[in-house]
Structure 1
Amino acid sequence: MKIAILGAGNMGLSFSKSFLKYELIKPENLHLITRNKSRISKIKEEFPYSEISIFEEVRELDADLIIIAVKPQDFRYVAENIQFSLKENQMVLSIMAGIKIEKIQTLLNHPLVVRAMPNSPTLLGMGITGYTSAEGISFSQLINIERLLNSTGRSVYLEDEDQLDGVTALSGSGPAYFYYIIDAMIKAGVEMGIEENLSKLFVKQTMLGAYHLINNSEKNLEELIKDVASKGGTTEAALKTFEENSFKDILKSGILNAEKRAKELNG
């Protein structure tokens, strides 16, 4: 399989590294395309055996799969300035937030489109990607796409494309919510007199341990909270403050606004 990645940013390069790591493609069958000329030398250092091109200079594209990894705000410009024509049997995989399959098909004048929403832990092969496809794509073609996506972590096929905006808000943007909460916890530790690096250690290890407890316990989240929050204790004092300030509602509202923005990106 030959793969071209249109948009050699963080996500495009992390996908490339996963494909090569698991030997799903040969380095010489990977074509990375960027609009940023200043990044060419750095990309060549990381991918010495792959083809690297400037977007405006690509006149032909020999690839079985074209992955569109540009920012959604840049897609219209990219679609209107493509110098090559898409061949009938070429597959397109979009990892752009918000841009629906129908719009991609229209702007590219090409029917074979799969839309996916990964998240940043794909950099470590620990991401999760929701994906869906246009009509007319065969089961074997979807299996090939899933195989590629699974090299970056886990993937889940969704029948309803509208759910991808929710996936974008929940898992695509999700890592930033955790970083935000972790940052607040670390700063609280510093305010209590704990040295910053030590505060980071306590918070990060706490998060890691809590994750493993969720994964390995038969208890639900409410029961796990009760296990920590003894009556009249310190945890209960913190949780009471969260409830009084509607922290859960604020978090949900933010996630719903992220979904709203994902829908707007298709406009």
Structure 2
Amino acid sequence: MKITILGAGKMGISFAKSFLKYELIKPEHLQLITRKKSNIPRLTEEFPGSKISVFYEDIIIDSDLVIIAVKPQDFQLLMENFSFQCKEDQMILSIMAGIKIKQIQKFINHKKVVRAMPNSPTLLGMGITGYSVAEGISFNELMSIERLLNATGRSIYLEDEDLLDSVTALSGSGPAYFYYIVDAMIKAGVEMGIDENLSKLFVKQTMLGAYHLINNSEKNLEQLIEDVASKGGTTEAALQVFERNQLNETIQKAILAAERRSKELSR
């Protein structure tokens, strides 16, 4: 399979590295197209043997799959200034938030479009991606796309494309919510007099251990919380502050706001 990636940002590069790492494609069958000419030396060094190009140049795209990995805000500008003729059997995979399959089909005048929403842990091959496909995509083509997506972590097929706005808000943006909470915990440790590096170590290992407990325990989250929060103890004191300040509701409202923004981007 030959693959072209439009957009050599963090997500586009993470996809390219995953495909090469698991030998799903050969370096010479990868084409990366970047917006900035200044990126070419770095990308050439990072992807030896692959073809590196710049937008707005005369480019021939002779790939089986074209991945659109630009920011959704830049998509219309890109399509107005950069055009390529799709072959009939060519697949298009979009990893842009908010831009719907029908909009992509209209802009590029091509039917075979898959829309996916990955998240940043794809950089480590530990991401999760929700994806939907246009009508007319065959089962074999679907399996081929899923195989590529699984190289970046896990993938989940969603028959209802509208759910991708929810996936964007939940898992696409999700790592940032996690980092926000981790940062607050580290700062609390520093406030209590713990060295910053030591505070980071305590918090990161706590988060890692808690994740493994969730993943390996038969208990639900409420039971796991009860295991830590003894009556009248320190954890209960902290949880009471969360409750008084409606932290649970605030987090839910924030995620719903992210979903609304994803829907706005599609308009």
- TM normalised by structure 1 equals 0.99
Number of residue equivalences:
267
Shift of 1:82: 2.2
Shift of 1:78: 1.2
Shift of 1:184: 0.1
1:96-145 CA-partner distances (Å, limit 9, x unpaired): 00000010001111100000000000000000000010000000000000
Measure the CA separation in 2 of the matches of 1:80 and 1:145.
Answer: 27
Q: Is this contact kept in 2: 1:63–1:90, CA < 8 A?
A: yes
Shift of 1:88: 1.2
1:17-66 CA-partner distances (Å, limit 9, x unpaired): 00000000000000000111111111111001100001111432100000
Match of 2:261 in 1: 261
Shift of 1:195: 0.3
What one-letter code is carried by the residue in structure 2 that aligns with 1:246?
Answer: Q
Shift of 1:85: 1.1
Shift of 1:84: 2.2
Match of 2:88 in 1: 88
Match of 1:209 in 2: 209
1:53 aligns with 2:60: no
Q: Name whichever of 79-88 and 95-104 sits farther off.
A: 79-88
Measure the CA separation in 2 of the matches of 1:82 and 1:203.
Answer: 46
Q: Is this contact kept in 2: 1:35–1:54, CA < 8 A?
A: yes
Q: Is this contact kept in 1: 2:53–2:59, CA < 8 A?
A: no
Match of 1:166 in 2: 166
1:8 aligns with 2:8: yes
Measure the CA separation in 1 of the matches of 2:75 and 2:86.
Answer: 16
Measure the CA separation in 2 of the matches of 1:9 and 1:234.
Answer: 44
Measure the CA separation in 2 of the matches of 1:245 and 1:52.
Answer: 51
Shift of 1:86: 1.2
Shift of 1:79: 1.4
Match of 2:103 in 1: 103
Q: Is this contact kept in 1: 2:93–2:114, CA < 8 A?
A: yes
What one-letter code is carried by the residue in structure 2 that aligns with 1:146?
Answer: E
* SS at 2:114 equivalent: strand
1:151 aligns with 2:151: yes
Q: Is this contact kept in 1: 2:128–2:152, CA < 8 A?
A: yes
Measure the CA separation in 1 of the matches of 2:260 and 2:83.
Answer: 33
- TM normalised by structure 2 equals 0.99
Match of 2:128 in 1: 128
Measure the CA separation in 2 of the matches of 1:65 and 1:82.
Answer: 17
1:44 aligns with 2:44: yes
RMSD of Structure 2 on Structure 1 (CA): 0.6
Measure the CA separation in 1 of the matches of 2:143 and 2:217.
Answer: 32
Measure the CA separation in 1 of the matches of 2:83 and 2:127.
Answer: 33
Q: Is this contact kept in 2: 1:58–1:83, CA < 8 A?
A: no
Q: Is this contact kept in 2: 1:58–1:84, CA < 8 A?
A: no
- Runs of 5+ unmatched residues, structure 2: none
Q: Is this contact kept in 2: 1:60–1:83, CA < 8 A?
A: no
Measure the CA separation in 2 of the matches of 1:82 and 1:209.
Answer: 47
